[in-house]
Amino acid sequence: MEVTGKQKLKENEFVILSISEVSSASSSTSFSKDEPILARFGSGSGVSELRFDQTSDSSANIVFDLRNSQLLRLGPAESLCISEASKDNKERGYSRGISIQFKNDEDSRTFHCAFEQWKTEVVVQGSTLPNGAVSTSTSKFDEKIEASSAKMYFHYYGQLLHQQNMLQDFVRTGTYYAAVIENRADFLGRVVVDVGAGSGILSLFAAQAGAKHVYAVEASEMAEYAKKLIAGNPSLSERITVIKGKVEEVELPVKADILISEPMGTLLVNERMLESYVIARDRFLVPNGKMFPTVGRIHMAPFSDEYLYMEIANKAIFWQQQSYFGVNLTPLQRSAYEGYFSQPVVDAFDPRLLIAPAISHVINFTSIKEEDLYEIEIPLKFTSPVSTRVHGLACWFDVLFNGSTVPRWLTTAPGAPTTHWYQLRCVLSQPLYVMPGQEITGHFRLVAHKAQSYTIYLTLSATVGDMLQTSSGKLDLKEPYYRMSQPQAYSLAQDQQPNQLLQTPDILTQPWVEDGSVPVQQPSPNHDAELHSL
């Protein structure tokens, strides 16, 4: 019987074809055959419950406490809902059970998905958790992150337009899909936790690869959209449970065989989600469990870009005015100049701007401690093959999905297909002059702060003759300059070939070493020919 008119269903209501009791601690409840039976999920007295009733007879109802209830499939359109006996009546086994007949298999699957989602609310919000733990203390996340920053962060990722931006990054999404599907053996029959699930797309990929069950943990309001998206894919939804909450706080009923996540921000570490990824590893992952991604690398190389340097320096010209409506602005000129150079530049640049081969800093997600991500110190040492001005340090990253079948890399390198991360450049307010064969040294230091980002301290030095040149900068990764115009058509430096100074973008060919290190190989002089021969 269809529900029409004023009986329009809410999202937590379902029409049931018929129900019949198979066991009961009380007298049997009868329902009229002349109107539909409604199954309603809700919270009564703070407890998630499932209620079967009819609008015309409030006395005809059956209520199940979801904390101690189970739902079993008996057939394509038939299920059994049972409620465990109370602690005082253990010998009975179950206190009540009903057989539920649905209109079709699709209705049955949707109902099962809703049942699991509402049981999850008990896991996250209830005082008694399935694994016996109670989460009452302030989480690590709240202790180290400003409340205002967290509020804006979760608001941003709770909007579909931002999720769409990431989904439409086909390099990102396509690489994740390939990494999962090509490594079905790692997912088949396994329990997966999706850390920071967002729209739930990675959870759906894992389910497509045959995961036994996926727990999609998402702290923002996007969790509600993820539930809708997953419910709209009924062939997969029964094996996915969305849990709204932070990985630092939620509890799971079982350990995970695999963690999957997209925790990368600008320069890999921005937004500090890598720390949550590591915390999820320590809380949820079985020993020797897999992590997708497995390892990350930050690549750095000095660059020369007169166009960019002049663009930033010229922004402060406004403050050189000595009579702006009769006001002298020059006292703020120096501060404005320093302020513009404190912004890392995010854009896609021409790789021919690099003046020395890149070096790399490896972060192994399977072994790094959370505290090691609070401060990252990277020594720098390069040799310039040309005479030029060094304007700063260019950075990008890549991550490895170390699958058992096909190890796959996702790269954000200049010259590779552009991602929504682009690349990042730290521009020094005082360029360095270098000669061919000149050694450039320094350090690159990242210090985490409570606004979910990092302060960057960069120092580069070079000695020309007897003169030591040193230039330093302090930049806030939280406040970048997004420079999204098309890159300039730069002329090649003498004797320099395209991509000559880049880490090889085809890093799929680099082996993964058992000790967790990644051999960093510089491209050979015949690099392009080698790539074509692969």
- What pLDDT score does 480 carry? 95
Contact status, residue 323 vs residue 441, Cβ threshold 8 Å? no
H-run or E-run covering 65: strand 57-65
Q: Is residue 278, in this structure, part of any structural domain at all?
A: no
Q: Do 302 and 410 belong together in one domain?
A: yes
Residue 383 β-bridge partners: 439
**Residue that wins the pLDDT comparison between 11 and 489:** 11
Q: Do 107 and 168 belong together in one domain?
A: no
Q: Is residue 80, in this structure, part of any structural domain at all?
A: yes
Please state the rounded mean pLDDT for residues 267-278: 96
How far apart are the C-alpha atoms of 217 and 502, rounded to whole Å?
Answer: 37
Residue 231's nearest CA partner among 121, 122, 124, 114 is: 114
pLDDT tens-place string over residues 421-438: 999 999 999 999 999 999
Query: Tokens representing 459?
Result: 């120092």
pLDDT tens-place string over residues 200-251: 999 999 999 999 999 999 999 999 999 999 999 999 999 999 999 999 999 9
Known active-site residue 218: no
pLDDT at 530 over 50: no
pLDDT at 529 over 50: no
CATH number for position 420: 2.70.160.11
Contact status, residue 459 vs residue 488, Cβ threshold 8 Å? no
**Residue that wins the pLDDT comparison between 189 and 504:** 189
- What pLDDT score does 14 carry? 87
Range of the structural domain that residue 29 is part of: 13-123
Please state the rounded mean pLDDT for residues 19-42: 69
CB count in 10 Å sphere of residue 534: 7
Sequence-separated (6 or more) residues with CB below 8 Å from residue 25: 89, 92, 95, 96
Residues comprising the chain, all counted: 534
Phi, psi of 360 (to 5 degrees): -130, 150
How far apart are the C-alpha atoms of 9 and 30, rounded to whole Å?
Answer: 22
Q: Do 325 and 467 belong together in one domain?
A: yes
Q: Do 169 and 301 belong together in one domain?
A: no
pTM, rounded to two decimals: 0.71
Sequence-separated (6 or more) residues with CB below 8 Å from residue 470: 459, 460, 461
Q: Do 220 and 308 belong together in one domain?
A: no
Angle at 489 between CA 486 and CA 492, to 5 degrees: 140
Sequence-separated (6 or more) residues with CB below 8 Å from residue 527: 499, 500, 504
With cut-offs at 50, 70 and 90, classify the pLDDT of residue 85: low
Peptide bond between residue 293 and the one before it cis (omega within 30 degrees of 0):
yes
Q: How far apart are the first and last CA of the chain?
A: 63
Q: Do 411 and 334 belong together in one domain?
A: yes
Q: Do 177 and 219 belong together in one domain?
A: yes
Segment among 9-13, 25-29, 273-277, 349-353 with least mean pLDDT: 25-29
Q: Which of 116, 218, 251, 271 is catalytic?
A: 271
Residue 452's nearest CA partner among 198, 263, 218 is: 263
**Residue that wins the pLDDT comparison between 127 and 304:** 304
Q: Do 351 and 442 belong together in one domain?
A: yes
**Residue that wins the pLDDT comparison between 246 and 128:** 246
Residue 468 β-bridge partners: 463
Q: Is residue 41, in this structure, part of any structural domain at all?
A: yes
Q: Is residue 358, in this structure, part of any structural domain at all?
A: yes
Q: Do 303 and 256 belong together in one domain?
A: no
Q: Please give the distance of CA 499 from its chain centroid, rounded to a whole number.
A: 30
Q: Is residue 490, in this structure, part of any structural domain at all?
A: no
Residue 243's nearest CA partner among 194, 202, 277, 204 is: 194
Known active-site residue 143: no
pLDDT tens-place string over residues 48-78: 788 888 765 555 678 888 878 888 888 888 8
Q: Do 310 and 444 belong together in one domain?
A: yes
Is residue 425 classed as helix, strand or coil in its secondary structure? strand
How far apart are the C-alpha atoms of 46 and 201, rounded to whole Å?
Answer: 31
Q: Is residue 306, in this structure, part of any structural domain at all?
A: yes
- What pLDDT score does 60 carry? 61
Q: Please give the distance of CA 206 from its chain centroid, rounded to a whole number.
A: 15
Q: Is residue 287, in this structure, part of any structural domain at all?
A: no
Give the domain-ending residue among 262, 279, 314.
262
Q: What is the mean pLDDT of the chain?
A: 83
How far apart are the C-alpha atoms of 143 and 149, rounded to whole Å?
Answer: 12
pLDDT at 88 over 50: no
Q: Which of 49, 248, 262, 275 is catalytic?
A: 262
Q: Do 313 and 407 belong together in one domain?
A: yes
Share of the chain above pLDDT 70, in %: 79
Give the domain-ending residue among 482, 508, 528.
482
- What pLDDT score does 491 carry? 44
CATH number for position 89: 2.30.29
How far apart are the C-alpha atoms of 482 and 475, rounded to whole Å?
Answer: 14
Segment among 33-47, 173-187, 268-282 with least mean pLDDT: 33-47
With cut-offs at 50, 70 and 90, classify the pLDDT of residue 373: very high
Q: Do 248 and 330 belong together in one domain?
A: no
Residue 82 β-bridge partners: 70, 97
Residue 507's nearest CA partner among 296, 266, 261, 260 is: 296
What is the number of domains present in the chain? Answer: 3
Contact status, residue 193 vs residue 257, Cβ threshold 8 Å? no
Is residue 428 classed as helix, strand or coil in its secondary structure? strand
With cut-offs at 50, 70 and 90, classify the pLDDT of residue 157: confident
Q: Is residue 282, in this structure, part of any structural domain at all?
A: no
CATH number for position 249: 3.40.50.150
With cut-offs at 50, 70 and 90, classify the pLDDT of residue 98: confident
